Amino acid sequence: MTPPRILVARNIFPEVVERLSQHFDVESNPEDIIWTPAELAERVKDKDGVLTTGSQRVDAALLAAAPRLRIVANMAVGYNNFDVDAMTAAGVQGTNTPDVLTETTADFGFALLMATARRVTESEHYLRAGKWNRWSYDMFAGSDVHGSTLGILGMGRIGQGIARRGAHGFGMNVIYHNRSRLSPELEAECKARYVSKEELLRTADHLVLVLPYTPESHHAIGAAEIAQMKSTANLINIARGGIVDDAALAQALKDKRIAAAGLDVFEGEPKVHPALLEVPNVVLTPHIASATVPTRLAMANLAADNLIAFFDGRGALTPVNRPAPKRA
């Protein structure tokens, strides 16, 4: 029996590609070429499975080019690069990588929150530019983290991790808004109080976005929402570009409508709205919230495990849809 054919769409850990090669006929991308949708379609034509990262779009057009395709394993917990309905209709299994990145991503959410509140990068740029020649009472005075109000929009696993860090580590008053309310046990564990989105916007000192990107969450934070925030508040986005209206945010930062922002994700990334590059009161990082070596390795291995389990008949380990089995 010939082994299933797998495409690994981006360069990932060689040891994971090697692991996949023990089970499958693998085409990989060690030069890490960013294929156009047409180039990707050309490569999936004869494939049974694909390992994607968040930057390859899996839509009806790609599926139409891949008659043999049965599974796409995303090396990401977010899967807004998948058209899930089109995949289900085409009988294609989708999987993601939950859990393995929760704590690492929550760590980074906190790192970005602290860097934003305490103006870490802005002050470093000042120092590196040789501008530091005396002390002054208000030099890079920022906002306090301990004892302040932490607002979390989107209270999944990562949101809960951030809540725990804030409540237990920094004595923060934690409030959250989510599509559904947590169980009383989880609320108690996270020391988090459920509030309306309006109250969240109005009262948070640090507002952290950790919700999935869907048509409903597109521009969930735009000019109208920013207008409701405290003028001293900080906004942190580690979720997805497109949840924040970046142009409106850049204008609000310029006008000091809010104190500062910390952004790890951007609309249309890796492009960054030019107005965001012009304002000093924003910390910008290139989508690295899950980027520690052990976590990225765990994500790659979980994506590989999904492919292996699917083709050996155990079924996908972390499915995002339930397609009817594809006819051979």
Helix pair 157-164, 102-117: axis angle to 10 deg: 50
Distance CA 154, CA 106 (A): 13
Binding residues for ligand 8YV, rule CB under 6 A, total 8
- Minimum separation from the CB atom of position 264 to ligand 8YV (A): 9
Q: Is 287 a catalytic residue?
A: yes
Distance CA 234, CA 246 (A): 15
Distance CA 315, CA 310 (A): 4
Among 71-79, 129-137, 198-206, 248-256, the segment contacting ligand 8YV (CB under 6 A): 71-79
- Minimum separation from the CB atom of position 79 to ligand 8YV (A): 8
248-277 burial, b at 16+ Cβ within 10 Å, e below that, comes to bbbebbeeebbbbbbbbbbbebeebbebbe
Q: Which of 240, 267, 273, 296 is catalytic?
A: 240
Residue nearest to ligand 8YV as judged by C-beta position: 54
Question: Among 17, 66, 100, 101, which residue interacts with ligand 8YV (rule: CB under 6 A)?
Answer: 101
- Minimum separation from the CB atom of position 241 to ligand 8YV (A): 10
- Minimum separation from the CB atom of position 69 to ligand 8YV (A): 19
Helices (H), the chain: 14-21, 37-44, 60-64, 84-89, 102-117, 120-128, 157-164, 170, 184-190, 197-203, 223-228, 246-254, 274-278, 293-311
Distance CA 173, CA 124 (A): 29
Question: Among 4, 49, 54, 166, which residue interacts with ligand 8YV (rule: CB under 6 A)?
Answer: 54
Q: Is 240 a catalytic residue?
A: yes
Among 72-80, 183-191, 276-284, 311-319, the segment contacting ligand 8YV (CB under 6 A): 72-80
What track of x and - describes contact with ligand 8YV for positions 77 through 96 (by CB under 6 A)? xx------------------
Binding of ligand 8YV by 76 (CB under 6 A):
yes
Supply 112's token pair.
């970005």
Supply 74's token pair.
């995303």
Helix pair 293-311, 14-21: axis angle to 10 deg: 10
Binding of ligand 8YV by 156 (CB under 6 A):
no
Binding of ligand 8YV by 145 (CB under 6 A):
no
- Minimum separation from the CB atom of position 223 to ligand 8YV (A): 25
Distance CA 318, CA 104 (A): 19
Among 19-27, 73-81, 134-142, 170-178, the segment contacting ligand 8YV (CB under 6 A): 73-81
Q: Is 219 a catalytic residue?
A: no
Q: Which of 122, 225, 269, 273 is catalytic?
A: 269
Residue type for position 321: N
Helix pair 293-311, 102-117: axis angle to 10 deg: 150
Ranges within 286-315 binding ligand 8YV (CB under 6 A) = 290
Binding of ligand 8YV by 53 (CB under 6 A):
yes
- Minimum separation from the CB atom of position 149 to ligand 8YV (A): 26
- Minimum separation from the CB atom of position 77 to ligand 8YV (A): 4
Question: Which residues, including other chains, have CB under 8 Å from residue 328's CB and lie 6 or more apart?
Answer: none
Closer to ligand 8YV at the Cβ: 77 or 244? 77
Closer to ligand 8YV at the Cβ: 76 or 304? 76
Supply 72's token pair.
């796409």
Distance CA 289, CA 102 (A): 10
Binding of ligand 8YV by 40 (CB under 6 A):
no
Residue 262 in contact with residue 113, Cβ under 8 Å? yes
Strand partners of residue 6:
26, 49
Active-site annotation, residues: 240, 269, 287
Binding residues for ligand 8YV, per CB under 6 A? 53-54, 75-78, 101, 290
